[in-house]
Chains A and B, each alone.
Chain A
Amino acid sequence: MAEQPRDSELLERLAKGDESSFREIVQRHGRYLFTIARSLTNTDADAEDVVQEVFMALLKARFRGESSLRTFLVSILMRQAALVRRKHKPWMRLADSEEGVIEAQQSATVRSEEPAVNAKIDLADLLKQLSPEHREVVILRELEGLTYDEIAKSLAIARGTVESRLHRAREALQQIATRMKPK
């Protein structure tokens, strides 16, 4: 089987005007980005728009290879999702509030009552149960593997804040895991 080209190769080809490489980047990262976007926005339509904006930004932005392409795309996505949240503030208030988190937790609890074989956890639903601040640090640390310093720089917060948010996010995740365990 032919080896898949690396992201850096695709980007080089894209810079030379190769249309197919862009399609390949979308195919490769679209699903993951949509999952993260769903966890950071309120509707699937918003999530789809955010991902579209991320890919458009990739065409305009200059990727300097300081991180993986996926991490670069996720950091654009977080900014775009924040813009969407600000635009739909009355809507988002629910998702960002305690009630919104509780609602997401209840919906996930219902899912966990399904038979264990079907009890696949959806990453977006799982992340939605965390507060927005916790979601961001968890995505960057657990899924993107950034160091505390890199997260602090990316979110413009202190390293100590990263540590404490991550700690609290993990506590919340442990509670979620306990609730979701099939009885």
Chain B
Amino acid sequence: MNCPNDQVLSAFCDGELPPVEMAQVRTHLQGCAVCSDVVRAIESASTMLRTAEWSNVSQEMLDRWSTAKTAVQDRSLRRFVGSLTGIAASVLIVASFARQQTSDASSPTIGEWEQIALAGEDEGDSSHVAATFMAADLSMRRADASSREGDRP
């Protein structure tokens, strides 16, 4: 076997070659000082990493990280309260809108014809007067509605 390239030797060190190739490289290494040196260098780089010192951490820092749980709980609670507030606000808006709609429908302003009709009761022929104004009022409302239709884009 010719000398394998360094990438293959690197994969060999990690045991990541197919079994046949692993065996071939192992045999090759027994008779090749150059490749054996490469493998040793790879292994010593691994050792350097595994034996390097970890950075120091103060107890205060560890304590701060330990309170992460409380922070998460606080955050979740805040989010929950925020959602509740949002829902409550939406319900309030919808309710007040619905109330406005209902009050518009149930208590319309007293039409002019109604007022005259009521006033006419005292004067005698009230039904005729009321009917006249009712017709006038209805035609005005129709005209309003059709002009609103016309304003729409």
B36-58 at interface with A (beta carbon < 8 Å): 41-42, 44-46, 48-57
Q: Would you call A32 and B54 a contact (CB within 8 A)?
A: yes
Which residues of B sit under 8 angstroms from A138, Cβ to Cβ? 49
Interface-facing stretch out of A81-89, A94-102, A139-147: A139-147
A97-111 at interface with B (beta carbon < 8 Å): none
Report the bound CA distance from A22 to B72 in whole Å.
13
Interface residue tally for chain A (C-beta within 8 Å): 40
Which residues of A sit under 8 angstroms from B7, Cβ to Cβ? 163-164, 167
Which residues of B sit under 8 angstroms from A123, Cβ to Cβ? 49, 52-55
Which residues of A sit under 8 angstroms from B14, Cβ to Cβ? 141, 147-148, 166
Name the prevailing secondary structure of the A interface residues: helix
Report the bound CA distance from A126 to B47 in whole Å.
13
Flag A162-179 by CB within 8 Å of B: 1 or 0 each: 011011001101100100
Is the C-beta of B80 less than 8 angstroms from some C-beta in chain A?
no
Q: Would you call B55 and A30 a contact (CB within 8 A)?
A: no
A-B contacts, 8 of them at CB < 8 A, read A30-B65, A32-B54, A121-B52, A123-B55, A126-B49, A138-B49, A141-B14, A163-B11
Please provide the 7 A-B residue pairs with the shortest distance between their CB atoms, ordered closest to farther: A123-B52, A173-B45, A167-B7, A55-B68, A35-B54, A35-B55, A167-B10
Which residues of B sit under 8 angstroms from A142, Cβ to Cβ? 46, 49-50
Name the prevailing secondary structure of the B interface residues: helix
Q: Would you call B10 and A34 a contact (CB within 8 A)?
A: no
Beyond A147-B16, A163-B7, A167-B7, is A26–B65 a contact (Cβ under 8 Å)? Answer: yes
Interface residue tally for chain B (C-beta within 8 Å): 30
Report the bound CA distance from A182 to B62 in whole Å.
35
Q: Which A residue's beta carbon lies closest to that of B43?
A: A170
Q: Would you call B49 and A122 a contact (CB within 8 A)?
A: no
Report the bound CA distance from A122 to B14 in whole Å.
24
Q: Would you call A121 and B48 a contact (CB within 8 A)?
A: yes
Chain A residues near B (Cβ < 8 Å): 19, 22-23, 26-27, 30-32, 34-35, 38, 48, 51-52, 55-56, 59-60, 120-124, 126-127, 138, 141-143, 147-148, 163-164, 166-167, 170-171, 173-174, 177
Which residues of A sit under 8 angstroms from B71, Cβ to Cβ? 56
Q: Would you call A170 and B68 a contact (CB within 8 A)?
A: no
Q: Which A residue's beta carbon lies closest to that of B56?
A: A31
Q: Would you call A27 and B62 a contact (CB within 8 A)?
A: yes
Q: Which B residue's beta carbon lies closest to that of A44?
A: B55
Q: Would you call A30 and B72 a contact (CB within 8 A)?
A: no
Report the bound CA distance from A29 to B54 in whole Å.
11
Beyond A35-B55, A56-B68, A163-B10, is A126–B62 a contact (Cβ under 8 Å)? Answer: no
Which residues of A sit under 8 angstroms from B48, Cβ to Cβ? 121, 126, 173, 177
